[in-house]
Chains A and B, each alone.
Chain A
Amino acid sequence: MLNFESLRALKTEAKKRLDARLADVPAVYLDETGTYKLRGPYFEKQTRIVLKNCEIIDPENIEEYIALDGYKALADLLEKNVPRREIVDEMIRSGLRGRGGAGFPTGRKWAEALKHDADHKYVICNADEGDPGAYMDRSVLENDPHSVLEGMTIAGLGIGADQGYIYVRAEYPNAVKRLNIAIAAAHKAGLLGERILGTDFSFDIELRLGAGAFVCGEGTALMESIEGRRGMPRNKVYRTAERGLFEKPTIINNVETLANVHHIYLNGADWFAGIGTPKSTGTKVFSVVGKVKDAGLVEVPMGTPLTKIIYDISGGIKNDLAIKAVQTGGPSGGCIPADLIPTTNVDFESLAAIGSIMGSGGLVVMDETDCMVDISRFFMDFTVEESCGKCTPCRIGNKRVLEMLERFIAGNGEPRDLPRLQELCEMIRDTSLCGLGQAAPNPVLSTLKYFRDEYMSHVRDKRCPAGVCKSLMTYVVREKCVGCGLCKINCPVKCITGERKTMHHIDPNACIRCGVCAAKCPVHAIELA
């Protein structure tokens, strides 16, 4: 069991051992300020605070975390006996906003929970990361689990909580394994559990595993799930900070938010507030995926131009095709069209202003070969599958939106469908019970706004400009045809006609678009158009 003194001694020892180990690791170097960093321009162009330890320390070894000032922030607060109010005020001053999506000021959440007296209070870490293609939280949990534990413990100290829960999805087995190792190690070291570091402060953390429901990332559904019920959003009569888990004051913070906490207390709120923009402070981790050359996690200060992330850090568009749009915020977010990309910075305000959201940090880059109707369909398919089924607009409305998009893609849409689609989407946005339903139509609404012509092509001309929607395409025989007849022989529906050594013809009405003819053609004369 550590105390303040032995923690400091351990740090010195552990630092020496870490230095010795990292001296032989070529991917890591020590910069001029004495900080370990990952080598290479991809990393050096980033501002890594949350991801600072990732890929550098051994996440299964608590000493390596301690070596790099881990648990120092917690120890300092405890040793100096800082009053709760001051801890919370420091968080308010830092301007940290929730990284889970909505961007609610973390300090205000804490202050609200501090205000309410109760025999128990809870700190929940929302680690139910579920946006397709997003793995910011997973990276932190797997590579730096103690930063989350320390953040939660400081939060517990600040609001007067005695119990924390990490609600982590079961599909992250590695994260679960490392969290379990980290919790056991912190327990053993006296950094978690009864009388932390020999003080009067006790705080424990338990894991709760999600069972694969995206909606359990919604705070009230998450609490229902922890309490042992079906994960469905609550009708919010009370704020979570007043009556949350088991009807007690509760704060729910996202993994990335909590991973910022100890940095704020180590370096001061002013340091943190100095990063990013005045209203969106600090950094944000983005999961940049899609048609970029270097996909991966990128941590940059809030307010960084989108172009810097896409071109400077992620290397630009694959195959040097033209960029068409960037989708931010996952299935609840919106699409930013190419012409707005050069003027868009990534912070809460700027993204909201153009109809998208920050979300949890998913960033999907699309090029000219992506069909926006199909992209909308993809995201709607996801939310329809993940709706909890409680309220009418989300349960039935989103299903009808999806069906409409599927009709467009199959060539069965009509121009008069577009205003109806718009009306339905707006109704779902304005009337759904929880954030999932309210944000679900965002991908459709934003693409309807910026890519309406593409929708029009689908419903009026029955054409997919990007060449993605197969039902709207036909196979045609080009001039190159040598009349070998291979296509005709292999066509399963016998819709190809033509005499030997003359140009063949495909009947577009009978064609089932299987593509066998194009694959068989020895001279590549058959194309999708």
Chain B
Amino acid sequence: MITFMINDQEVTVPEGTTILNAAREIGIKIPTLCFLKEQKGVEFQSASCRVCMVEEPGRQKMLAACSTKAWNGLKVRTDTPRVIRTRRLMVELLLSNHPKDCLICHKNGDCELQTLAADSNVREVSFQGAMNKCRIDNSSLSIVRDMNKCILCKRCEEVCSNIQSVGCLTDVGRGFHTVVGTVFDWPMTDTTCTFCGQCLAVCPTGALAEVDNTRKVWDALVSGKTVVVQTAPAVRVALGEMFGMEPGSVVTGKMVGALRMLGFDYVYDTNFAADVTIMEEAAELVHRMKHGGVLPILTSCCPSWIKFIEHNFGDMLDIPSSCKSPHEMFGALAKTYLADRLNVPREDMIVVSVMPCVAKKYESARPELSVAGQSDVDIVISTRELGHMLREIGVNFESVKESDFDDFMGESSGAGTIFGVTGGVLEATLRTAYEWITGETLENVEFEAIRGFEDVKAATIDIQGKPFRVASASGLKNARKLLNSIRSGEAHFDAIEIMACPGGCIAGGGQPSVHQDYSILEKRMAAIYGIDEAKTIRQSHKNPSVIRLYEEFIGEPYGEKAHELLHTEYKLRKKM
């Protein structure tokens, strides 16, 4: 332990503690921009923004609080005129090379630079001069990169390289013209970017944003066509945060009610399609086991993960399940089964997905997920975008009258719900596959061993005396490790679930920003399991609407019609 002074307050902390963390412990706020505390507590100290500089009286050189380890007897001050002036000057420098169009920026009100400028009492930008001019990269359907707004905190590079192991972002250019770019400054679409959106989840400014599809939705709503909307499991446990509600609030009913207020003709649940996914995936697993197919089977619900394996593990493309992701299954069923039931021609139906994810935007445009050039899912918006649309019409969210999903594709089991968290798809698969393989009833549907935020969770389940080995990984770096160990023959599993975002869809790139408060993710996870627990039906194959779908329309799971509508294929992509 070491003891030192911050602003006349004595603080005793373990050796190796940074000035910043010690100050936080005694309630002294030192502002930061580039500093990033990651989910697992790892600290990314780029130490590049220099906003957290503090003063050791008598010493000319100032100390970066985020990355300077305190020592015994150190005396620092965070409140001297010099510290305050330096910080303000630093913010002014950043602003001198930053567009000052906050009023029309998508990050308005949620921007860390904006908050810092306000807190630092900046009233003018003393040092005006040349500004960096960068071409906006809007090549992709998921992410817009406007590097004019970048402050080079490098958080995006950190998550892209060290959390996701994708590494498609790096600094390019020199000196004043340095920007975060892609390899050879290629457009995002030409890179190995998986569109997981974790970069924009950590971006402190408006430099990284999702492609805004809200205008398209407004246009659809007045187009005269039948507009159906589906909502992913993770949306209902995070949307409330957009309206100041406690993290972890379950707002399913209000969300449905609010969607009706927006003017959607029918409101459905992606959870229903998740149940269908389990029918197909469990059937595929049983099929592979019975017919000596390739094992492990990998889940295929996450489009970001699929793009990752297409780029990086081209030799293993026979391993993922051929199941489409749930919202794409929904799209395919909506434009066939549902269109038929509602008496709406396919071309007069518009399917909108509300997702916690930005990769789903790119996914919906994959050519194999369309019929005659018309995508099964027409428009994808994120949780954030839905929040923005509701703010546009001035919804008082907390007082919205609760409503239920519509019939045919609105009913779901607890298994469909837990698709929103890491381990959830695997657990849902087991709840069904166990019964199908053994023919017995599963007494306890909760598989605790594969729950939680750990990087990789592995478990062995006893199925009729035979060990069934499963694993679940979230975060693409963990997925890469897991896949490498399978490829090398080091590890053997029968079923694996992978989600690109650490923690699963609850931490998706389209969710309201948590601003490094990861307890919010824990609350969202608890909320998802809470919904599951409250359900009477907790297994996908017991969902009456699903049973009706198969009886009336699809027939056998993993059968001919199922293959046509609910399964897809993958393609090899270049590694760079």
Contact = CB atoms under 8 A, between A and B. Distances in A.
B129 A403 contact: yes
A387 B46 contact: no
A393 to B, nearest CB: 6
A334 to B, nearest CB: 15
Contacts of A423: 85, 89
A391 B47 CA distance: 7
B399 interface: no
A395 interface: yes
Contacts of A386: 174-175
A385 B174 contact: yes
A237 B152 contact: no
A230 B170 contact: yes
Interface stretch (B61-69, B193-201, B410-418): B61-69
B175 A389 contact: yes
A377 to B, nearest CB: 14
B60 interface: yes
A392 interface: yes
A314 B85 CA distance: 46
B152 A403 contact: no
Given A235-B46, A237-B69, A396 B97 contact: yes
A432 B177 contact: no
Nearest to A403: B129
A388 B174 contact: yes
Which of under 10, 10 to 19, 20 to 34, or 35 or more describes the interface residues of A? 20 to 34
A508 B348 CA distance: 74
B138 interface: no
Interface in B51-82: 51, 53, 60-62, 64, 67, 69
B171 interface: yes
A396 B178 contact: no
A235 B69 CA distance: 12
Contacts of B93: 392-393, 396-397, 400
B216 to A, nearest CB: 37
A66 interface: no
Contact of A430 (B86, B127, B171): B86
Nearest to A390: B48
Contacts of A427: 86, 89-90
Interface in B119-154: 126-127, 129-130, 151-152
Nearest to B175: A387
B176 A395 contact: yes
A430 B173 contact: no
Contact of B90 (A237, A392, A403, A429): A392
A431 B86 contact: yes
A393 B62 CA distance: 12
A232 interface: yes
Contact of A431 (B62, B171, B173): B62
B96 interface: yes
A388 B172 CA distance: 10
B114 interface: no
Contacts of A396: 93-94, 96-97, 176
Contact of B152 (A385, A395, A400, A438): A395
Nearest to A407: B129
B458 to A, nearest CB: 30
B45 interface: yes
B126 A391 contact: no
Contacts of B295: none
Contacts of B62: 430-431
Contacts of A433: 47-48, 50, 64
Contacts, number: 103
B50 A424 contact: no
Contacts of B48: 390-392, 433
B50 A391 contact: yes
B170 A387 contact: no
Contacts of A245: none
B459 interface: no
Q: Do most interface residues of chain B lie in helix, strand or loop, or is the interface mixed?
A: loop
Given A396-B97, A400-B93, A400-B127, A388 B50 contact: no
* Chain B CB within 10 A, most for which of A230, A387, A391: A391
Contact of B89 (A235, A237, A424): A424
Contacts of A395: 152, 175-176, 178
Nearest to A420: B126
Contact of A235 (B47, B51, B86, B151): B47
B60 A430 contact: yes
A136 interface: no
Nearest to B51: A392
Contacts of B97: 396
Interface string A210-244: 00010000000000000000101001010000000
B178 A235 contact: no
Interface string B176-214: 111000000000000000000000000000000000000
A385 B173 CA distance: 11
Contacts of B86: 427, 430-431
Interface in A408-466: 420, 423-424, 427, 429-433, 438
A229 to B, nearest CB: 9
Contacts of B60: 429-430
Interface string B154-175: 0000000000000000110111
A399 interface: yes
Given A235-B45, A395-B178, A400-B129, A389 B173 contact: yes
A235 B20 CA distance: 15
Given A430-B61, A430-B86, A389 B171 contact: yes
A20 B391 CA distance: 93
Chain B CB within 10 Å — which of A213, A384, A393 has the most?
A393
B90 A399 contact: no
A448 to B, nearest CB: 16
B90 A385 contact: no
Contacts of A404: 127
B174 A399 contact: no
Interface in A123-181: none
A360 B64 CA distance: 27
A112 B549 CA distance: 73
B94 A392 contact: yes
B49 interface: yes
Contacts of B171: 230, 232, 389-390
Contacts of A438: 61
Contacts of A397: 93, 127
Contacts of B175: 384-389, 395, 399
Contacts of B45: 235, 237
B129 A393 contact: no
Given A424-B127, A427-B89, A392 B176 contact: no
Contacts of B89: 423-424, 427
A387 B176 contact: yes
Contacts of B170: 230
Contacts of B151: 392
A260 to B, nearest CB: 29
B126 A390 contact: no
A213 to B, nearest CB: 7
Interface string B34-54: 000000000001111111010
27 contacts: A230-B170, A235-B46, A237-B67, A384-B175, A385-B175, A386-B174, A389-B152, A389-B174, A389-B175, A390-B48, A391-B50, A392-B48, A392-B51, A392-B90, A392-B93, A393-B50, A396-B93, A396-B176, A403-B129, A403-B130, A423-B89, A427-B86, A427-B89, A429-B60, A431-B64, A433-B48, A438-B61
Given A237-B45, A391-B48, A395-B176, 13 more contacts: A237-B67, A385-B174, A387-B176, A392-B93, A392-B94, A396-B93, A399-B129, A399-B176, A400-B129, A427-B86, A429-B60, A430-B53, A431-B86
Report, nearest first, the 10 A-B pairs whose CB atoms are least far apart: A389-B178, A400-B127, A387-B175, A235-B47, A403-B129, A396-B93, A399-B176, A391-B48, A390-B48, A430-B62
Interface of B: 45-51, 53, 60-62, 64, 67, 69, 85-86, 89-90, 93-94, 96-97, 126-127, 129-130, 151-152, 170-171, 173-178
